[in-house]
Amino acid sequence: MRSLLELQALDRQHYLHPFSDHRLIAERGTRVISRGEGVYIYDSEGRQILDGMSGLWCVSLGYGRRELIDAARRQLETLPYYNSFFQCTHPPAIELAALLAEVAPPGFSRVFYTNSGSEANDTVIRMLRHYWDLQGQPARKIIISRRNAYHGSTIGGMSLGGMPAQQAQGDLPIPGIVHIGQPYCFELGAGLHPDEFGLRAAGELEQQILALGPERVAAFIGEPVQGAGGVIIPPDSYWPEIQRICDQYGILLVADEVITGFGRLGEWFGSQYYDIEPDLVIFAKAVNGGYLPLGGVLVGDRVGDALVAGGGEFFHGFTQSGNPVACAVAIAALQVMQAEGIVERVRERIAPYFAARWQTLAAHPLVGEARSVGLLGALELVADQASRRRFPAELRIGETCRDTSIELGLVMRHVRDSLIVAPPLVITEAQVDELVDKARRTLDSVGSQLQRHA
């Protein structure tokens, strides 16, 4: 076994990390995570850390689930790889497709597999264009997305996303994608009732459609709750109005459920939580508890029937589309969720408990808002609660809190000046208490550091 120092040196020399500032990594060093069990991860020094982010929103069933590990081993022994090109297929991809159709909202009979959420977003761009061509409406090519959305980091995914600093690298977005505002009430809705703000934010879609000409618009895409953008929970009025607008102008609705899929909001899919009926649902991450790369698109029958009836090859797919081991683990994960009633447990027990406990943080002087939905939570960090004044940017308050939190044994993530959590769905009440207690101690600790330096 290599020592921690050796590992860190090799890491610095050879490994270009995703979404990382490599000069900063070299200066500050890295934390090596070497093991996971239940809702906890352990670093190379054996420190136990509560994983408040489920890895990257994906380890929904916790670490070390025997059923998932056994399913992977069995499938590796039986058929570790085969593809679904050229009229071939294999049992895990078929069984999973049928199981996904069972847990998906009605009207989703088919699935297209990818290896990630980013690839699934790219798949949607290609599928939408193909669909509208088949419909004899080739002018319908524009996809409307939102600012501060995250849809992955491939060229298509990042173009759909709405993060200007990220898009500036590589001259994105690609043509044919336009962005409207986001339903971020805390930041943008001051003085308005949330429902009024929600209608106003959704109304931007209608204005954009009319400005572009409805006959040129292919679809609207949105995350039911923006995750990477900072757990932006839309007002209740938002999604029904988006649905109405899509229906009125005949444009397709795409829900990117890479985070909200598979129980995160206490329903199988976030679309069900918000009572919307998308035409395409993008998934990845928790489909197999995050244990192996797998993503895809649940294809609603309006599009799926047209693709099949239209005939002709859809020139799209990946060597590892529907990898048998990744699919076998997904089958095991979905079966565990069904057998243990995990979605119902989140809805009826853990999410309400989490919401009540998370809300107690709202009283903390550093917190301008504590919000949650299902097992997603966010804290807006402010210098002054009454005026919602933010801290000076150079204080990097979000990052400071994130680092302190990890020191105190809890993974939280920061997005600008907010802290977010998305714990595993199997978290217990006692562990929710631990999470909230550590979050409070983080705020206390950073609060007293600020006072010392004032």
Ligand X SMILES: Cc1ncc(COP(=O)(O)O)c(C=O)c1O
Where on the chain is the footprint of ligand X (CB under 6 A)?
116-118, 121, 150-152, 223, 227-228, 256, 258-259, 284, 295
Which residues partner with 389 through β-bridges? 384
User: At its nearest, how many Å lie between ligand X and the CB of residue 204?
Assistant: 20
Q: In the complex with ligand X, which residue's Cβ is closer, 223 or 279?
A: 223
In the complex, the smallest distance separating the C-beta of residue 440 from ligand X, rounded to whole angstroms, is 27
Tokens 């069904």, residue located: 338
Count of residues making up the chain: 454
Cβ-contact 96, 327 below 8 angstroms: yes
Closest separation in Å from C-beta 231 to ligand X:
11
Least distance (Å) between residue 268 CB and ligand X: 16
Q: For residue 48, give both structure tokens.
A: 């136990």
Least Å from the CB of residue 154 to ligand X? 7
Tell me which residue of 448, 264, 259 sits closest to 364, measured CA to CA.
448
| Stretch (H or E) spanning 57 | helix 54-57
CA–CA dist 300, 100 (Å, integer): 12
In the bound state with ligand X, the residue whose beta carbon lies nearer, of 152 and 377, is: 152
Q: Which of 377, 371, 392 is nearest to 422 (CA)?
A: 377
Closer residue to ligand X, CB minimum distance, 228 or 366: 228
Helix (H) or strand (E) holding 254: strand 252-256
> In the 8-state DSSP scheme, what is residue 388?
T
Nearer to ligand X, 152 or 368 (CB): 152
CA distance 189 to 179: 18
Residue nearest to ligand X (CB): 117
Rg (alpha carbons) of the chain, rounded to whole number = 22
Of residues 96 and 221, the one with the C-beta less far from ligand X: 221
Q: How far is the CB of 149 from ligand X (least distance, A)?
A: 8
For ligand X, give the closer residue by CB, 235 or 295. Answer: 295
